[in-house]
Structure 1
Amino acid sequence: MTRRRLVLAWLRAPVIVQVLLVYAAARVFSAVVIAEVARFQAESVWTSADPGYTGMLGIWDAVWYREIAEDGYPSSVPLGADGRPQQSALAFYPVFPLLARALSAVTGLDFAVSGSVVALVTGAGAAVLVHRVLHEAVLRAGGRPATARRAAWSAAVLFCVSPVSPVLQVAYTEGPAMLLLAGFLLLLLRRAYLPAAVLALVLGLTRPVALPLTAVVVVHLGLRALRAHRGGARRPPTGVAVRAAVLLAASGTAGLLWPGITWWLTGRRDAYTATMGAWRSSGEVVPFVPWVSVSQYLLGDLVGPVLLLLLLGLAAFFLLSARTAVLGLELRVWCLAYSGYLLAVLDPFTSLFRYLMLLFPLGGLVALHPRRRGALRATVVACLLLQIVWTAWLWRFSPPADWPP
């Protein structure tokens, strides 16, 4: 087939096919990177030396997911000799390991491989939904069809090739979480409140990101009520009000679902937060303070916090500026609420790079740059290079201890 025919075939292909082809190409690139990095993997508690591609799929947190899939959760919070909670599977949500367990039961695949398959398939679905969400959000925000197409394509491509996108083919939860998140936002934009409520509850058992979604729901419903009031409507139809109430209740419940289940499993009310604290140097989750402490450590007691506040202010200003208005209010609120959530619950550490993947709507802005073609191409190249850096630096484990991915 000639180059011209290939180009014509590409242009005539449905958008979903184009997105999936980009996703497949990106995953092949990531597989080559992982396989090459595996050559430099030292022997550790998780792998032999040079374990090959499949040997690199089940390390780091995948070990906890394997434990959940094979042995379930502990019935009490494990304690150390000092009586303090220890790291345990209670910190990890059940949907992903149970999906991998089901696939292993049907196919006989090892957990690392079945987990990789789950991540790959759900990541492919997420890529398609990322495109769909951006396209619909931009149109609903008043953007032109051409603008919506560029933003949607940019977000989908950058999701596929992002520096941390190799996690979409290892035994990690990013694939299912992104699929559910993008699906939820799409249903919210379409006002399909009952299906969105179901996805919110499932997401609440997949990743700890349901709480910032509640902020998005509140803003969405509040804006809809305000518009209805301005239009002269005194109250919404009963069916709409009931569905909106169900969605609000489900999104709020989703954020508390797993902490409540761990309480039921162990009999300890703070089982989840106490276990999460075992990963913190202080032994507990303290909102916001670690960011201030790290800024002081790096830049001094005064300059560090001041610069941190300045950067946070600039980020908030950008998310609320006219530059991002094309994304629509719901996606902007998601980015703002999720960023605030990360500040509240996360230590500023190397895992932050992976968590930022969920800010996928911002990828849609790259193609809207005045020099959009050059900007998108340059960003893709940079992402592919940074994939190599991320995999070699963070995914490859250097025993006896290393920075987590």
Structure 2
Amino acid sequence: MSAPAAPAHPAGPRARALVRPLLLRWLRLPAAVRVLAVYALARLFTAAVLAAVARFQPPSAWTPQDPGYADVLVLWDATWYRSIAEHGYPSAVPLGADGDPRQSELAFYPVAPLLARALMATGLPFAWAGSLVSLLTGAAAAVGVHALLLRALSARRPAGAARRGAWSAAVLLCVCPPAVVLQVPYTEGPALALLVAFLLLLQRRRYLPAAAVALVLGLTRPVAVPLSVVVAVHLLLRAREGHRRGAVLGGRVALRALVLLGASSAAGLLWPVTAALLTGRADAYTATMGAWRAGGRVEWLQPWWSVSRYLLGGAGPPLLVLLVVAYAAWLLSRRTAALGADLRTWCLAYPAYLLVVLDPFTSLFRYLVLLFPLGGLVGLHPRRRGALGAWVAASLALQVVWTAWLWRFSPPSDWPP
């Protein structure tokens, strides 16, 4: 005779009865509030990681003995931004003993340090002022990412799927492995906020405000070239859509479109021209950028080819080409169609730009934060709940690795974040 079944433990139903109202209250909150709550929790996690890493940071030219949280905020490029905020830019291109340009502030764009400088007028030291700029602009970017992806996905997917995709994009931005840059005095926070604002305005076809944002973005990070590609594709598709309907762009709309195209193209020249005017040297920006490159100058494509061959031998270059083609084919497939033309073009043009102008290095992880639209695809996965949870867990674990490996500086030299 079998033993009687044990009575059900009341903890399960009782726990569900307690959790369900809380979950419903959470879901009733405005989306922006929920995104900001996740962003705040993510930044607390990052702060804890930074504080832990500070305990293992050896003294260096950047940090004192036994550095604390504020000391590790200003490592790496943050030191250059502090110099700009406190002293401005040099009036000439600094040269070494060999006559070649040295590394200097001229390689760094002015918007983020000038915002920090404005906050420093209140008495805040740069570490906290620069961090506050990143935190606030990162928060604005996270909310904007949700709004941008919700609008893009709603045009092609049911409302529920669009909400899930927008939510996953915002959450993954908050917890991504290089999310430390949303907390330290770097340019990613301002650049993300401006890029999201630009793409939202472009989606809504508000071309004149988008042109103004593009110009400011051109003084924040060097992303104007892929931005102008997005604008060109957007306008071509709109013109084709109008042609199919037997309508052409009106005079005012066409003029605004031309202003936008001109502004997004000119944005790429703003800082190089400004650096030339500051120093009296036409190639001040590119010559200074070359000081960070292995060959002493900026080379197109060649560094990727050389590094792939160095790492993988003769198979490196063909594998690199295969990866590029596979990414482009995937991005142009039906699997990503829900993102819409503007976001897909950005996610194609921006990596192409990095491939052309960038030396493949550890900073690449940080640059890829601007590919945030791809996070929206996680929420559209058939097993979306498990997929998002797995991505969040992996991202937080990799954030610890990224911070301990790259943000921590081991003198006299180390791999940069």
| TM bracket, shorter-chain basis | over 0.9
- 1: distance between equivalents of 2:123 and 2:287? 35
1:384 aligns with 2:396: yes
Letter in 2 for 1:177: A
Within the candidate set 146, 157, 162, 1:131 is matched to 146
- 1: distance between equivalents of 2:212 and 2:66? 43
The CA deviation at 1:139 is 2.0
Residue in structure 1 matched with residue 13 of structure 2 by the alignment:
none
- How large is the Cα RMSD of the aligned pairs? 1.1
Residue in structure 2 matched with residue 152 of structure 1 by the alignment:
166
Within the candidate set 363, 370, 374, 2:386 is matched to 374
The CA deviation at 1:203 is 0.2
CA deviations over 1:296-325 (Å, ceiling 9, x no partner):
10111x211111101111011111111110
SS of residue paired to 1:51: coil
- 1: distance between equivalents of 2:66 and 2:293? 31
Residue in structure 1 matched with residue 58 of structure 2 by the alignment:
42
SS of residue paired to 2:406: helix
The CA deviation at 1:158 is 0.1
1:402 aligns with 2:411: no
Deviates more, 1:258-267 or 1:123-132: 258-267
- 2: distance between equivalents of 1:51 and 1:342? 34
- 2: distance between equivalents of 1:193 and 1:50? 51
Equivalent residues in 2 for 1:253-402, closer than 5 Å: 253-300=266-313, 302-402=314-414
SS of residue paired to 1:328: helix
Residue in structure 1 matched with residue 5 of structure 2 by the alignment:
none
CA deviations over 1:39-84 (Å, ceiling 9, x no partner):
1000010112331111111111011111111111111111111111
The CA deviation at 1:6 is 2.5
Within the candidate set 9, 26, 35, 1:19 is matched to 35
Equivalent residues in 2 for 1:138-217, closer than 5 Å: 138-140=153-155, 142-217=156-231
What TM-score comes out, normalization by structure 2 length?
0.95
- 2: distance between equivalents of 1:317 and 1:250? 30
Residue in structure 1 matched with residue 253 of structure 2 by the alignment:
240
- 1: distance between equivalents of 2:66 and 2:186? 21
- 2: distance between equivalents of 1:352 and 1:371? 30
1:111 aligns with 2:123: no
CA deviations over 1:150-180 (Å, ceiling 9, x no partner):
1100100000000000110111111100000
- 2: distance between equivalents of 1:2 and 1:396? 42
The CA deviation at 1:263 is 1.1
- 2: distance between equivalents of 1:189 and 1:211? 19
CA deviations over 1:211-256 (Å, ceiling 9, x no partner):
10000000000000001011011x3111111111110110000011
- 2: distance between equivalents of 1:98 and 1:117? 13
- 1: distance between equivalents of 2:218 and 2:152? 23
- 2: distance between equivalents of 1:162 and 1:217? 27
CA deviations over 1:250-271 (Å, ceiling 9, x no partner):
0000011101111111111111
SS of residue paired to 2:73: coil
The CA deviation at 1:367 is 1.5
Residue in structure 2 matched with residue 63 of structure 1 by the alignment:
79
Letter in 1 for 2:58: A
- 2: distance between equivalents of 1:11 and 1:351? 37
Residue in structure 1 matched with residue 109 of structure 2 by the alignment:
93
Deviates more, 1:3-12 or 1:274-283: 3-12
- 2: distance between equivalents of 1:372 and 1:6? 21
- 2: distance between equivalents of 1:4 and 1:320? 40
Q: Which runs of 5+ in 1 are unaligned?
A: none
Residue in structure 2 matched with residue 76 of structure 1 by the alignment:
92
Residue in structure 1 matched with residue 48 of structure 2 by the alignment:
32
Letter in 2 for 1:294: V
Identity %: 67
- 1: distance between equivalents of 2:211 and 2:275? 22
The CA deviation at 1:94 is 0.4
Q: Which runs of 5+ in 2 are unaligned?
A: 1-16
- 2: distance between equivalents of 1:136 and 1:269? 42
Residue in structure 1 matched with residue 237 of structure 2 by the alignment:
223
